[in-house]
Structure 1
Amino acid sequence: MNNATTKGKKPVVVYGASGYTGRLVCEYLREYGIPFIAAGRSKDKLDAAMKANVPGIETADFEVEEVAHTTEALTALFRGASVVINTVGPFAKFGPEVVQACLNTGCHYTDTTGEQDWLITLDEEYGPRFAAKGLLLSPGLAQMYTTGEIAAQLALETPGLDTLDIAVFWGGSPTIASTQTILVNAATSKAFYLDQNQYKEWQPDAGLYQLAIPGQHEVALALPWGGTSHPVWFKRDPRVATVKVLGGVFNKPLMLGVPKIVEAALEATKDMNAEDRYNALAQTAAGVMNVMPPRENPRINKSVDSVHASGPLGRAHCVIFGNCNYKQTGLLNAFAASWLLQQPPKRVGFASGCQAFGHHELLGALRSFGLVQPPILTVQH
């Protein structure tokens, strides 16, 4: 189907729709009644994913489009749409063409990235260009970042707090794409926290951190997890000066294995050029996870986002218990699309989910679909 026939008909493009997260985005777009184009590099994979993995797809208003991963081809596909939801990672490698195509066609952009270096690139290089066109550039719209940001924003409703100590945990296995992103990003990019409004590098060989997680007696193991999105989002927030984030999975053997896998991969690829190194790291990631995880089970796939906010004379703690972190990600992006098709975002250019749509609004969406409990907020003055 050529673009001339789709122009103006389907306002949302899901790029990478055949992947685990892309399918969930499509599922929630269907629930919101939003027409969409399911796009990717293989029409056969897209057709199979829509038919077999998106419940109720027969009632959705959608089309499948195969597209080459070039700025030119993506520009042709996006023309006539309003919102592009990008799930194709690693984003630092595959994202620039998508972002440029959005600029070319006047589309708002969201993605599900966990790559801090990609966020910094978007903030510094693309944010002003999107803002100049009145467009939203909102990367990292995902449970691992946005649900924790909601908790942080709730804590920051108490004035006088300037330091955020964030922990993000979830149950279950990462997807194929997440595993690849984790490994490639950990091996090739620095991880930063925010210290008095300046990026500071996490010690790369510090190993695992031990954290006390709300709701359990056992100490959990955590990593800086690439630095996460939060230090980048809050760098321009006048209330906040310092942000540190640690994250992990509840599966302790898996957490114990991650630093060893990364260390071995780094050593094995240290003398390779960038392209060979990427290919070798991707192959290592496939050895860790090369099958699509099962559909999430809320009894197994739990999430915990805990934020301690502090200032010279005040403290607040907010924790949000939830389930099905990938479903949360799918819903957050569908909600964003629904918003953007009806009214402008609260902020244009580079912005987090909460900055673009409001933390109470995003929390309301997650609550309405039964994915998170009411936040538990404790304030000490």
Structure 2
Amino acid sequence: MTNKDLTPTIAVYGANGHTAGHLLTELRRRGITPILVGRNAERLREAALAADLPDAEIRLADLDDRAALVAAFTGADVVISALSAFAVLGAPVVEAAIAAGAHYTDTSGEQLFVKRVLEEYGDRAAATGVTVIPGITDNNLPGDLLGHLTSRRVPGPAALVVSHLSRSKGNGSKGSAKTVLASLDWFTSGGYHYEDGELRTGPLTRFTEVTMPGDTTPTAVSKFPQSPVITIPRHSDVAYVAGILDSEILTHLGEFTPEALESIPDAPSSDLRYHVIVDTVGTDGTQVRGLVSGVDSYRDSALMAAEVATRLATGTARPGALAPAEAFDPVDLLDSFVPHGLTWTIESR
């Protein structure tokens, strides 16, 4: 379905979470009154009022009721899924969106879910004439776009490492903690990296230390399951792609328990500035760094999901399951976020 001339109709599933609150506010800023879909009418109505959307339509559908989900998404140009723990909960929403003839995007940050969507739903989406783009977050979207751009600045096949650095050391939301806990073994094991034409598990073989922006000495890093590891090889000439995180942070992550989840506030810290860093090395040793600096991880994820959704509503991206850089021009998309306080650069090193 496309809606090139009219205000798009966008349905949001999981509209009462922290990121979703930012998402609803951003859609309202764009003049869009979304359809709120979920299982609890009272919580959805509260979310609509909090976003100053008193006239928003509420549609009820449980994740285990496929017919209700399809009915709830019917008539929408685009569905945005704003769940937590996508690896456990996310599949019914993308399946129902495709069945309803709606384009789809989400705020998942989970490597396993992004991989599943790209591998399992592409043919179905293409046959229906819709576009599916998973994994639109403050880390995944910039990482994918920067991977596309930096890999073209060096002789290929390139080697890349993607990292996310908190500039404020703030704490995430309870929803983010639920996502990590649902796939804790995968997060602590490091997940996939891409090497010599295939996805692999196991330790880093490159980039075990990285000098972060503003630092003069390198930081010890460990492998972390960043979703651009899945998406960058789809569109760029690469021999190696890995996600990393400060080793000290990952040590604390390994100590996370269900009991600890209960003590985490629903809302995250107020200061959530961050960097997304893509370091790229060519076959001749040429080094390039791509950097996106953001304002608030949750707000920016919502901003990015809203932008992708409104672009999907125009119907200009080809049908199927796509990485962001396969669907849109990377420079144009990154530039669209600059008026909202995000900056991006690519520099030789």
Q: Mark yes or no: TM-score above 0.5.
A: yes
CA displacement 1:8-50 (0-9 Å, x = unmatched) = 9971101011001111111111111123112222111122223
- In structure 2, the partner of 1:277 is none
- In structure 2, the partner of 1:214 is 213
Task: Answer 1 or 2: which has greater helix percent.
Answer: 1
Which one-letter code corresponds to 2:15 in the other structure? A
CA distance in 2, matches of 1:121, 1:76: 24
- In structure 1, the partner of 2:3 is none
CA distance in 2, matches of 1:376, 1:84: 31
CA displacement 1:157-209 (0-9 Å, x = unmatched) = 315232112211224222212111112212267611000121111349x9xx7
- In structure 2, the partner of 1:110 is 105
Aligned partner of residue 193 in structure 2, secondary structure: strand
- In structure 1, the partner of 2:266 is 291
- Contact 1:26 1:38 survives alignment (8 Å): no
CA displacement 1:284-307 (0-9 Å, x = unmatched) = 46335242235x4xxx31111111
Query: What TM-score do you get using the length of structure 2 for normalisation?
Result: 0.87
- Contact 2:114 2:134 survives alignment (8 Å): yes
- In structure 2, the partner of 1:67 is 61
Deviation at 1:235, TM superposition (A): 2.8
Task: Check 1:201–1:188 CA distance in 2 against 1; reply closer, same or farther (3 A cut).
Answer: closer
Give yes or no for the alignment of 1:334 onto 2:311: no
Task: Check 1:203–1:289 CA distance in 2 against 1; reply closer, same or farther (3 A cut).
Answer: farther
- In structure 2, the partner of 1:29 is 27
Task: Check 1:177–1:248 CA distance in 2 against 1; reply closer, same or farther (3 A cut).
Answer: farther
CA distance in 1, matches of 2:302, 2:236: 30
- In structure 2, the partner of 1:123 is 118
Give yes or no for the alignment of 1:137 onto 2:132: yes
CA distance in 2, matches of 1:284, 1:144: 27
CA displacement 1:196-233 (0-9 Å, x = unmatched) = 121111349x9xx76421123576565533x1211211
CA distance in 1, matches of 2:275, 2:202: 23
CA distance in 2, matches of 1:316, 1:44: 50
- In structure 1, the partner of 2:347 is 378
Which one-letter code corresponds to 1:302 in the other structure? R
Match runs of 1:355-370 below 5 Å: 355-370=326-341
- In structure 2, the partner of 1:276 is none
- Contact 1:10 1:37 survives alignment (8 Å): no
Question: Which of 219, 225, 235 is residue 237 of structure 1 equivalent to?
Answer: 235
CA distance in 2, matches of 1:301, 1:331: 15
- Contact 2:277 2:291 survives alignment (8 Å): yes
Give yes or no for the alignment of 1:166 onto 2:190: no
CA distance in 1, matches of 2:30, 2:141: 20
Aligned length, in residue pairs: 335
Deviation at 1:256, TM superposition (A): 4.3
- Contact 2:175 2:266 survives alignment (8 Å): no
CA distance in 2, matches of 1:164, 1:255: 20
- The worse-fitting range, judged by mean Cα deviation, of 77-86 and 316-325 is 316-325
Aligned partner of residue 124 in structure 1, secondary structure: helix
Question: Which of 321, 329, 344 is residue 316 of structure 2 equivalent to?
Answer: 344
Aligned partner of residue 62 in structure 1, secondary structure: coil
- Contact 1:32 1:338 survives alignment (8 Å): no
Deviation at 1:85, TM superposition (A): 0.3
Deviation at 1:333, TM superposition (A): 1.1
- The worse-fitting range, judged by mean Cα deviation, of 179-188 and 28-37 is 179-188
- In structure 2, the partner of 1:154 is 149
Task: Check 1:348–1:364 CA distance in 2 against 1; reply closer, same or farther (3 A cut).
Answer: same
CA distance in 2, matches of 1:247, 1:11: 38
- Contact 2:108 2:134 survives alignment (8 Å): yes
Query: What TM-score do you get using the length of structure 1 for normalisation?
Result: 0.80
Aligned partner of residue 262 in structure 2, secondary structure: helix
Aligned partner of residue 305 in structure 1, secondary structure: strand
- The worse-fitting range, judged by mean Cα deviation, of 148-157 and 94-103 is 148-157
CA distance in 1, matches of 2:339, 2:151: 23
- Contact 1:113 1:140 survives alignment (8 Å): yes
- The worse-fitting range, judged by mean Cα deviation, of 76-85 and 308-317 is 308-317
Aligned partner of residue 44 in structure 1, secondary structure: helix
Task: Check 1:369–1:238 CA distance in 2 against 1; reply closer, same or farther (3 A cut).
Answer: closer
Structure 2 gaps, min length 5? 1-5
CA distance in 1, matches of 2:220, 2:11: 37
CA distance in 1, matches of 2:84, 2:266: 16
Query: For the aligned residues, what is the CA RMSD?
Result: 2.7
